[in-house]
């Protein structure tokens, strides 16, 4: 990765002009407990770890030039794949009158719905950090934003590809067969050096926020192909295919109701399919004569492939796209914001499969403790009858409670 070093060199070249800089970040301890006994050999019921997330920010030239760094490292004695470090951000930013130019490693988020972010295709998921795919790896890129009164046009060039992280043999939750990242393969001739490109136009007007995007490059979600490496020993080999994706994300504020939409059209391996998430969040303010707010959420999740998207009993030669368990599902949830000085929040969600293939549920809560501490809680699990040919079957007994305490500096 030459790009990050060039960014650092540019910063050093302007070091004498830096007039605002400083370190921040967090350090924390985490404990994860699984309610059920392990399904596979080598796994545990409890996992403890420590993490650090340092950040450094500097600006000069009256704020028109900036340097931003964010790193992450975790120490986990029980899952060696989760014991890792990553540069989340290492970027140089130049701000002009009608443009913003960024170069280096960045995290870019697209998306508006709660249950899944279909349009969010720039960064790779750090799956060892969270099985929901919301935690992302840093992505090397060059990003030019052209700002106009009618909206913003973002152009992206990504010169290298980040492979997804997966839990190891001792990790949990994981697939039945361990993912062997050394057996990775690509559709692109240049493999992880294929240059990906994306463009997104966004605008805000009269309560509407709309984004239209297009991506072409190596898809971030791999197909996991079974490989027999010895008699009775099977592993999964990640296969990354080229992806065309057209996407739209939109929100509309109508009084206490926030309408949300994400929709994509994708083409992989010569097959085209569509997926969408659409719904609303209705906020009730000042419940029970208090300062608390309650948001009621509902979203419908669709994939044009139907149950083929979530089944695992399909021959590898017939796989035309990575699987998804959200293909005919409904999110029902509630967000409780206490609006107190501790910024306490609770988010509860249940996603039943409308084809009767079980359901998933989650509870997320957070609260500040004083000025520099914060505690987070996450509870995820499965219920109902999940068929043996469903992509969720391997983790059906992996209900867990995760608690972490962070100190911010």
d(CA 280, CA 179): 37
- C-alpha distances (whole Å) from 280 to each of 247, 259, 296 are 19, 4, 8
- Specify whether the CB–CB gap between 136 and 126 falls below 8 A: yes
The tokens of 359 are what? Answer: 């359901």
The helix (run of H) or strand (run of E) holding residue 211 is strand 208-218
Q: Which string of DSSP letters, residue by residue, matches 30-57?
A: EEEEESSPPSSTT--SEEEEEEEEEEEE
Chain CA centroid to CA 343, Å:
23
Residue 175's pLDDT is what? Answer: 93
**Half-sphere CA count of 29, side-chain side, radius 13 A:** 2
Using alpha carbons, select from 274, 273, 276, 292 the residue that is nearest to residue 284.
292
The sign one gets for the Cα dihedral 33, 365, 121, 11 is: negative
Per the CB < 8 A criterion, the answer to whether 269 and 194 are in contact is no
SS3 389: coil
> How confident is the model at residue 311, as a pLDDT?
87
Q: Which two tokens stand for residue 6?
A: 């060039």
Preceding peptide of 173 cis, ω within 30°: yes
User: What is the strand order of the sheet 223-230 is part of?
Assistant: 185-186, 233-240, 223-230
Q: Give, for all 409 residues of the chain, the pLDDT tens digit.
A: 454 444 444 444 454 456 689 999 999 999 999 999 999 999 999 999 999 999 999 999 999 999 999 999 999 999 999 999 999 999 999 999 999 999 999 999 999 999 999 999 999 999 999 999 999 999 999 999 999 999 999 999 999 999 999 999 999 999 999 999 999 999 999 999 999 999 999 999 999 999 999 999 999 999 999 999 999 899 999 999 999 999 999 999 999 999 999 999 999 998 999 999 999 999 999 988 899 999 999 999 999 999 989 988 876 656 678 889 999 999 999 999 999 999 999 999 999 999 999 999 999 999 999 999 999 999 999 999 999 999 999 999 999 999 999 999 9
Instruction: Please report how many Cα atoms fall inside a 13 Å half-sphere around the Cα of residue 286, on the Cβ side.
Output: 1
Note the pTM of the prediction, 2 decimals: 0.91
What class does CATH assign to 2-408?
mainly beta
Q: Between vectors from CA 243 to CA 164 and to CA 305, what angle results, nearest 5°? A: 95
pLDDT of residue 380: 97
240 within 8 A of 185, measured Cβ to Cβ: yes
Report the C-alpha gap between 63 and 66 in whole angstroms.
Answer: 7
Residue 5's H or E segment, with its range, is helix 2-13
Residues 154, 109: contact at Cβ < 8 Å?
no
* Angle value at C-alpha 312, between 329 and 215, nearest 5 degrees: 65
Residue 23: strand pairing partners? 56
Phi and psi dihedrals of 47, rounded to 5? -135, 130
Task: Name the helix (H) or strand (E) containing 13.
Answer: helix 2-13
Contact of 304 with 201, CB cutoff 8 Å: no
- All residues at 6 or more sequence positions from 243 whose CB lies less than 8 Å from its CB, including other chains: 121, 215, 216, 217, 218, 219, 266, 267, 268
Domain extents in the chain? 2-408
């Amino acid at each position: 990765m030459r790009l990050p070093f060039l960014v650092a060199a540019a910063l050093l070249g302007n070091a004498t002009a830096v007039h605002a800089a400083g370190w921040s970040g967090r350090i924390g301890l985490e404990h994860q407990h699984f309610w059920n006994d392990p399904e596979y050999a080598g796994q545990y019921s409890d996992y403890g770890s420590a993490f650090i997330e340092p950040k450094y920010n500097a600006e000069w030239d009256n704020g028109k030039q900036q340097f931003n760094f964010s790193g992450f490292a975790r120490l986990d004695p029980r899952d060696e794949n989760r014991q890792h470090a990553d540069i989340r951000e290492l970027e140089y930013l130049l701000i002009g009158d009608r443009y913003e130019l960024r170069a280096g490693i960045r995290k870019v988020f697209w998306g508006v719905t709660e249950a899944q972010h279909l349009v969010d295709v720039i960064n790779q998921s750090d799956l060892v950090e969270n099985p929901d795919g919301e935690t992302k790896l840093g992505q090397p890129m060059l990003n030019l934003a052209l700002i106009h009164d009618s909206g913003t046009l973002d152009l992206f060039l990504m010169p290298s590809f980040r492979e997804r992280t997966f839990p190891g043999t001792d990790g949990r939750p994981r697939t039945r067969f361990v993912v062997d990242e050394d057996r990775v393969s690509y559709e692109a001739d240049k493999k992880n050096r294929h240059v990906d490109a994306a463009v997104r136009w966004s605008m805000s007007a009269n309560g509407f926020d709309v984004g239209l995007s297009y991506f072409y490059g190596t898809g971030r979600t791999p197909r996991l192909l079974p490989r027999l490496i010895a008699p009775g020993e099977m592993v999964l080999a990640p296969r990354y295919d080229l992806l065309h994706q057209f996407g739209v994300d939109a929100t509309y504020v109508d009084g206490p109701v926030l309408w949300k939409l994400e929709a994509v059209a994708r083409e992989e391996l010569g097959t085209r399919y569509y997926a969408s998430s659409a719904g609303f969040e209705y906020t009730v303010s000042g419940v029970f004569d208090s300062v608390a707010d309650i948001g009621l959420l509902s979203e419908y999740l669709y994939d044009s492939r139907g149950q083929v998207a979530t089944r695992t009993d399909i021959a590898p030669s017939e796989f035309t796209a990575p699987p998804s368990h959200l293909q005919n599902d409904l999110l029902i949830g509630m967000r409780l914001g206490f609006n107190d000085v501790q910024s306490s929040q609770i988010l509860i969600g249940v996603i039943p499969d409308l084809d009767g293939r079980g359901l998933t549920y989650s509870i997320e809560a957070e609260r500040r403790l004083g000025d520099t501490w914060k505690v987070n809680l996450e509870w995820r699990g499965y219920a109902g009858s999940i068929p043996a040919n469903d992509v969720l079957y391997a983790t059906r007994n992996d209900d867990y409670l995760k608690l972490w305490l962070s100190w911010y500096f």
